[in-house]
Chains A and B, each alone.
Chain A
């Protein structure tokens, strides 16, 4: 899509087109590499191959309808996208949620974080030439997707988190299912670490690769594991708690080396922390209780009420035909997605459809750092750097 202007323009360099159909670009990223032998002189990312105009489409939907679109932004973190959008709309509406709904959200989002990190670990190991890790990671991810399927009826695009709560009561037997996963997972993470952490090839491919200082990363607006691997303890769950995260006891893993290896260690440690949060959330979720806020006209009424109360029937009809109208104003909410700060900006003009919905995708912003990470490094290190930024092209291009 882009015509490249070479930086030096000497006869020594050549331009190599990497992607958009390259397996290690994790989707349809295209990078134009100007090479001097095997060394990268400049790297220019070229995006947009997966642009679907989700933000524009949201403007033509009611607030509730837009939830299904949010799933598809970052397809490894659909519940996190649901969450940030719902939190933003709830902020606009001034809704208070029952604690039980918040805990269910936290549990689901943390399971999602583990599943996203598993996909990252598997695909990154695959990029680095270790195929078996991917098979192990996807095996465990399958268990998480089964939990999602029981909760929401869907494995991936769940739309489980809704405005004002969650879609359904937890299914029968959910506790055993989650507990079984929690008991199994620590040993499995040990297994991955046993395969990789002290592996000489793995260390050789990642250590010292893709370094950027903490100051540069902040200047480039990088967030997430990439920033924490540079020693900056910036995690929205701790800094600006949402959805009752302040009640949970967990650590934010950081490293100081700021190379690909440190990013790997941070993500593995994060999986262990997420397991801790899931366990705490599971204990806090009571067997009975509300999963939705009390807000007639915004939250669809229960089926039983609709059969006996006229108001409930009217509200149901109005919500699903016209929608609801938050007061005019704007809200910005940021949550910690597996990739960094996931923000959602919603502006209302008092009509049932949003005036503007904007997603601050962490993959999109973090990818800015790529040219700086790979400058002067070998061409094989570009693959490692793209991998540890952990991009999801659905989110980059939206």
Chain B
């Protein structure tokens, strides 16, 4: 049973590449996890393809999170963990976001569950999601200034 899970996750990257050669910037395999790096402009289309193609069928968006690689540019890396429940498979879509234009397409039209996950990233990293219907702070108070999970935000003391 273990061997079955995630057996052909690598194929997903190749499938995306045949769908649109520009859609896959890089396929990373590390510790048994497949990460497909997608350019920001094609993120929503690629996600839609992963979800709606019958034999890929990534129906569950498990998680959205961001990594801040300050001071490296592009500093933000958005990671989307996709799960295909019928096919027992996990992949990660990744896209890079720069500090000058921290704006990316929302995946809410593809998975409505992206709503709060993206709001959390917006709240803590200050990345805006276009097409999100309810982009408000979720964990911090409305009047809070700054994005605390950015690496240049201090853990202790005043900013």
Classify chain B's interface size: 35 or more
Binary contact track A257-296/B, C-beta < 8 Å → 1, others 0:
0000000000000000000000000000000000000000
CB-based A-B contact count at 8 angstroms: 117
Chain A interface helix/strand/loop/mixed: mixed
B41 interface residue (CB < 8 Å to A): no
A377 interface residue (CB < 8 Å to B): no
Contact B113 A219 (CB under 8 A): yes
Smallest Cβ-Cβ distance to A369: which chain B residue: B113
Determine, out of A117-125, A201-209, A232-240, A380-388, the stretch whose residues face the partner at the interface.
A232-240
Chain A residues with CB under 8 Å of B67's CB are: 330, 347, 355-356
A21 interface residue (CB < 8 Å to B): no
**Least CB distance, A249 to chain B, in whole angstroms:** 12
Contact B30 A330 (CB under 8 A): yes
Q: Once the chains are docked, how many angstroms separate the CA of A5 from the CA of B2?
A: 49
Q: Once the chains are docked, how many angstroms separate the CA of A53 from the CA of B113?
A: 23
B16 interface residue (CB < 8 Å to A): no
Contact A2 B136 (CB under 8 A): yes
Q: Once the chains are docked, how many angstroms separate the CA of A92 from the CA of B81?
A: 17
Chain B residues with CB under 8 Å of A341's CB are: 62
Known: A221-B117, A240-B5, A360-B63. A55 touches B31 (CB 8 A): no
Contact B88 A53 (CB under 8 A): no
**Least CB distance, A288 to chain B, in whole angstroms:** 28
Q: Once the chains are docked, how many angstroms separate the CA of A241 from the CA of B63?
A: 19
Q: Once the chains are docked, how many angstroms separate the CA of A332 from the CA of B9?
A: 15
Q: Once the chains are docked, how many angstroms separate the CA of A341 from the CA of B112?
A: 17
Chain A residues with CB under 8 Å of B136's CB are: 2
Q: Which of B114-154 contact A (CB under 8 A)?
A: 114-117, 120, 124, 136-142, 148-149, 151, 153
Q: Which of A85-106 contact B (CB under 8 A)?
A: 91-92, 94
Q: Which of A225-246 contact B (CB under 8 A)?
A: 232, 234, 238-241, 246
- State the A residues within 8 Å of B (CB): 1-3, 47-48, 51, 53, 55-57, 59-60, 91-92, 94, 218-223, 232, 234, 238-241, 246, 329-332, 334, 341, 343, 345, 347, 349, 355-356, 358, 360, 364-365, 367-368, 397-398
Report the 6 A-B pairs with minimum CB-CB distance, sorted nearest first.
Answer: A221-B113, A360-B63, A48-B139, A358-B65, A60-B155, A51-B139
